[in-house]
Structure 1
Amino acid sequence: MVVGDALLDHDLCGRAERLAPDAPVPVVHGTRRSSRPGGAALAACLAAADGRPVTLVTALGDDAASHILRGLLAGRVDLVEVPLDGALSSKTRVLAGDRPLLRLDDGEGRARAATEAAVGAVTGAGAVLVADYGRGTAGVLRDALAGAASRLPVVWDPHLRGATPVPGVRLATPSAQEARALARRLGADTEPGDEAGLRTAARDARTLIGAWQARAVAITLGERGALLSHGETPLLVPTPAAAAGDPCGAGDRFAAAAAGLLFDGALTEAAVQGAVHAATRYVAEGGAHALATEDAPPTEPPPDGEATADAVRTAARVRSAGGTVVAGGCFDLLHAGHVALLQAARRAGDCLIVCVNSDDSVRRRKGASRPLVPAADRVRVLRALECVDAVAVFDEDTPERILGELRPHIWAKGGDYARTRLPKQALVESWGGQVLLLPYLEGRSTTTLADRAALAPAPTGGPPR
């Protein structure tokens, strides 16, 4: 089982071949957007990839990032949630090739309290990996984790923002940088000229073992492997081969592999050796990219539910990057008036999400003869427009629920609504958004087009047109 703080990770990968003319910064173009589980959620997915059933105990809420992460975890791990105050933490990396250029962090949510289900899951576990990213999940379950450490293998992957491990953990797995900073907090010194050397790592491990009352500490050293210490002479476990690639998540891969091997009954030395090999393979095989889900729309339109999930992911990604989310209304038969409105709406922000009624919703509102175009086709046409970033399909008569999931900064409507207060205006304003009216092309309407089509004479012969 994995206990800890789940995160949501996004990557924007592209090419950087020139600098911007207005500032000495790279211009990244041809970007591909992807999302994946992060933090404790990444560790849980990696543990499950080893073939063991895994339960993840973590804090999630009602925010968009939490909903996206639930979808990414579905079918991979069993999820036991504790309540989250605030928005789930997410980070967005901008990369040129495999080289990170910038990281944007968003969301400072923290676990509120333990639940009976979460305590029961920890009590009934066979081994526990604690992935503590400083958002409070390990803290609210600290008593249960202390009890677990007294009777079963507990691996604790610490973070500089997190709490100290509970006494008695089988193995703590800080990186060399984390171990140095944590040992300094405890008053440890550094020998001159050995700031990042093995001698300092060994001393830091001894300091942490004594302070944490841990049975062992394995300090991860990147491409050099790991240094395992029980408090006396340390054991250096080198990597089996050099691995070039994105190291993001390698520490989670190391800790997850070690916890799984200890659960299987391996000795600590064998577990650390297996974890070094697993982390090396992980980097060589592409790292966290293997768990990423591309956010770009597929060539074929997805089912309604998947289209809506893509729209929620798009809104969360743009919001986490500090952008403006614009949402627009639903259409049946797309015409020039709609296209002009969509183009104007897209220029008002950084992404445009179109909310469309499902077929059943249109029939309830417009009658049995509508919609003229089924939802799957409407989604496909809208997604083909350059100004549309995503499409969300809702089955209710009005879009309040889907607006609550998307939480757009701007809800765009045609100018024919001027001088009236829209029913959705109070809802949009409740999270700080605004309703924005945009010019509407005169003389264009779905009803007019449908009437003209119904009155048009049928062809009398000749080849089909």
Structure 2
Amino acid sequence: MIKYFSQLKTKFSKAKILVIGDIILDAYIEGHSNRISPEAPIPIIEANSYRYVPGGAGNVVNNLNALGAKSTLIGLIGKDQEAEILKNIFKKENVSLRGLIKSNRPTTLKTRVIGDNQQLVRIDREETQPANKKEESQILIQIAKLIKKKLCDGIIVSDYAKGVINKNIMKTIIKLAKKEKIAVFVDPKNKDFSIYNGADIIKPNLKEAISASKLSNLDGSDNSTIEKMGKQLLKMSKAKGILISRNKYGLSLIQKNETFHYKTQALEVSDVSGAGDTLTSIFALCASINLPYSICSELSNIGAGLVVQKQGTATISVEELLKQLHKTHAHISKTSSSERNALKQLIDMEKSLGNKIVFTNGCFDLLHVGHVKLLEESKKCGDILIVAINSDKSVKKLKGPQRPLIQENDRARILLGLEAVDYVVIFDEGTPKNLLRLLQPDILVKGGDYSHDQVVGYEIVEKYGGKIKLINLVDGKSTTNTLNKILKNP
């Protein structure tokens, strides 16, 4: 699976993200219930498991670590047992502790009681008053050190409204970050988005977006209403983009001149705890390695869809993310322009990661060893191989009414089963010229039975700086020869 976006894991491992915000300890008491309490009509849980997971800004750090990035955390912790538990967890994960500032307030604790995989109750212990002057000063000193020394590629502000993030701290973060050209990504809880003025991306959930925009009677299903709300929040915050998680309706990225909508990716929801942290972490990490915001949103949406299928506050790995991404996009339908545009976004991502894109096309009807060799040699010309195949309708025009022998979706699936092939796209047109213009591969490959000037689309590819590569075919191997042999020996 690592062949897909082969350099993404490497890029993630080199990224450094500064996380500033409210640190929470999530406690889970898990067990089994088979009787009701005689004291009240509630189940009795026979606890068999106690576990602790960082929550809030701590969960953002956990997500970043799971994806291979390096992170530094700044926030307040108490002088209590829960703070020690958090520090021990962070030490094991190689998270720097220098940004953890001791406070007289208790460490925020959320305890969930789980019976037979069902959350029964959550008990919160917290103090939400703003950080005092001394604590604020210590926070600002740590922020200034890390940003001025350029020890981060991106900054995530995880505001859970527990007292760490205020107007002065946000103003300082954004001022210093802009000076060093470091992007700031905010997961907000404050209803007044002007406090985040100048952030690059603000990621509210639907409830938070509705509250901040002061709109009402929204269920999140209508794209145009979401866009209107996003534009209003853009104006209010002067951000570059508003990323709204819309629960079962997916995710929307609203920018000044562009809007993208993504359908929800979750097949089965187990627990939504921390899904917003996963979404924010993936987006900020992708943006920090200079991926387009549209791709950052796509990957974030997929990641959030995966993490809600897990129990409790959880994370995902790069391999899980890429495996799901490939399931979603490896085979692109010929009929949908939106799916072609999705393929273009993915190929743009590959290019931004430094991967060389190779493109070849054909009918690939009745796959034989000559096809396989062509594809293997094509893949050697670069990093990512796109195979464009003629649709059934297109094949009939080229080969006659008796062809194709294999239906287009079956041909696509067979090709995707080959190690050399990364993407398959079906095209209805007589030639792949439109796809070449859209995707702009680095290398266009055809068989050696063509001359350079016979390769369809060579002028398009060479015009933008691409190259043409001809590969020798295996003698005597063709679909026509194979078919004639079958017909002679019924």
How would you bin the TM-score normalised by the shorter chain? 0.5 to 0.7
Deviation at 1:34, TM superposition (A): 1.1
Which of 241, 247, 251 does residue 222 from structure 1 map onto? 247
Find the aligned partners of 2:158 and 2:209 in 1 and give their Cα distance: 15
Q: Does 1:169 align with 2:211?
A: no
Aligned to 1:238, which of 249, 263, 278?
263
Q: Counterparts of 2:117 and 2:245 in 1: how far apart (Å)?
A: 22
User: Relative to 1, partners in 2 of residues 1:26 and 1:48: Cα closer, same or farther, differing over 3 Å?
Assistant: same
Q: Distance in 2 between the 1:218 and 1:210 partners?
A: 14
Q: Secondary structure at the match of 2:196?
A: coil
2:38 alignment partner AA: P
1:134 touches 1:162 (CA, 8 Å); kept in 2?
A: no
Residue of structure 1 equivalent to 2:137: 114
Range that drifts further, 8-17 or 261-270: 8-17
Q: Hey, what does 2:96 align to over in structure 1? A: 78
The answer to whether residue 291 in structure 2 is matched with residue 266 in structure 1 is yes
Residues of 1 paired with 2:36 and 2:121: CA distance? 15
Pick from 277, 282, 297: which aligns with 2:307?
Answer: 282
**Paired residue type of 1:146:** I
Query: Contact (CA 8 Å) 1:145, 1:166: kept in 2 or not?
Result: no
Q: Quote the residue 1:142 is aligned against.
A: 170
Over 3 Å counting, the alpha-carbon distance change for 1:210 and 1:87 in structure 2 is same
Amino acid at match of 1:147: K
Check 1:287–1:23 CA distance in 2 against 1; reply closer, same or farther (3 A cut): closer
- Counterpart residue identity of residue 226, structure 1: L
User: What is the match of residue 325 of structure 2?
Assistant: none
Alignment of 1:413-452 (within 5 A): none
Cα deviations across residues 54-91 of structure 1 (Å, max 9, x unaligned)? 11111123222212211111132223123424111111
* Percent identity between the two aligned chains: 22
Q: Deviations over 1:159-198 (max 9, x none)?
A: 14797553221211111111112222xxxx335xx44433
Distance verdict in 2 for CA 1:153–1:290, change over 3 Å: closer
Aligned partner of residue 227 in structure 2, secondary structure: helix
Following superposition, the deviation at residue 231 of structure 1 comes to 4.4
CA separation in 2, counterparts of 1:163 and 1:97? 40
Task: Flag the 1:262–1:165 CA change in 2: closer, same or farther, 3 A.
Answer: farther
Give, as a single letter, the amino acid of the residue that structure 2 aligns with 1:43.
Answer: V
Contact 1:158-1:165 within 8 A present in 2 as well: no
Q: Structure 2: which amino acid aligns with 1:174?
A: P
Q: Is 1:82–1:113's contact at 8 Å kept on the other side of the alignment?
A: no
Correspondence for 1:331:
none
The answer to which of 239-248 and 38-47 deviates more is 239-248
Establish whether residue 190 from structure 1 lines up as the match of residue 211 from structure 2: no
Q: Are 2:31 and 1:37 equivalent residues in the alignment?
A: no
C-alpha distance in 2 between matches for 1:152 and 1:289: 28
Q: Tell me how far 1:260 sits from its aligned partner.
A: 0.3
Choose 7-16 or 258-267, whichever is displaced more: 7-16
Structure 1: how far apart are the matches of 2:67 and 2:106?
A: 30
Q: For the Cα contact (< 8 Å) 2:147–2:177, is it kept in 1? A: no
Query: Unaligned regions of 5+ residues in structure 2, if any?
Result: 1-17, 317-490
**Cα gap change, 1:62/1:32 in structure 2, threshold over 3 Å: closer, same or farther?**
same
The partner residue of 2:42 within 9, 17, 25 is 25
- Corresponding residue of 1:157: 187
Q: Deviations over 1:106-163 (max 9, x none)?
A: 1316532233233211332221011011123232632331214532211100114797
Letter in 1 for 2:136: A
- In 2, Cα distance between the equivalents of 1:108 and 1:241? 34
Structure 1 residues 168 and 160: alpha-carbon distance in aligned structure 2, compared to 1, 3 A threshold: closer
- Decide whether the 8 Å contact of 1:14 with 1:31 is kept in 2: yes
CA contact under 8 A between 1:243 and 1:281: conserved in structure 2? no
Number of residue-to-residue matches in the alignment: 285
Q: Distance in 1 between matches of 2:308 and 2:173?
A: 30
Letter of the 1:114 partner, please give it. Answer: S
2:165 partner SS: helix
- Aligned equivalent of 1:133: 160
Relative to 1, partners in 2 of residues 1:24 and 1:232: Cα closer, same or farther, differing over 3 Å?
A: farther
Query: Are residues 1:94 and 2:120 paired?
Result: no
User: Does residue 1:50 correspond to 2:73, yes or no?
Assistant: no
Corresponding residue SS for 2:44: strand
Range that drifts further, 150-159 or 15-24: 15-24
The whole-number CA distance in structure 1 between the counterparts of 2:192 and 2:104 is 17
Cα pair 2:266 2:308 within 8 Å, conserved: no
Task: Tell me the distance in 2 between the aligned counterparts of 1:90 and 1:250.
Answer: 18
Kept in 2, the 8 Å contact 1:175–1:220? The answer is yes
Change in Cα spacing, 1:181 to 1:97, as seen in structure 2 (3 Å) is: farther
Flag structure 1 segments of 5+ consecutive residues without an equivalent: 292-465
Indicate yes or no: 2:275 matched with 1:250.
yes
**1:206 alignment partner in structure 2:** 231
The TM-score with structure 2 as length reference comes to: 0.54
Worse overlay, 251-260 or 220-229: 220-229
Give the conservation status (yes or no) of the 8 Å contact 2:28–2:51: yes
Q: What amino acid does structure 2 have at the position aligned with 1:142?
A: M
Alpha-carbon shift at residue 104 of structure 1 (Å) = 0.7
Q: Deviations over 1:33-65 (max 9, x none)?
A: 111111001101111211111111111232222
Contact persistence 1:83–1:113 (CA under 8 A): no
Counterparts of 1:35 and 1:50, CA distance in 2: 20
Q: State whether residues 122 and 144 of structure 1, in contact with CA within 8 Å, keep that contact through their aligned partners in structure 2.
A: no
CA distance in 1, matches of 2:30, 2:192: 30
What residue number does 1:420 align with?
Answer: none
Deviation at 1:10, TM superposition (A): 0.5
Q: Aligned to 1:207, what secondary structure does the other structure show?
A: helix
AA of the residue aligned to 1:143: K
Distance 2:315 2:290 in 1: 28
Q: 1:65/1:162 Cα in 2 relative to 1: closer, same or farther (>3 Å)?
A: farther
- Establish whether residue 62 from structure 1 lines up as the match of residue 79 from structure 2: yes
Letter in 1 for 2:185: V
SS of aligned partner of 2:296: helix
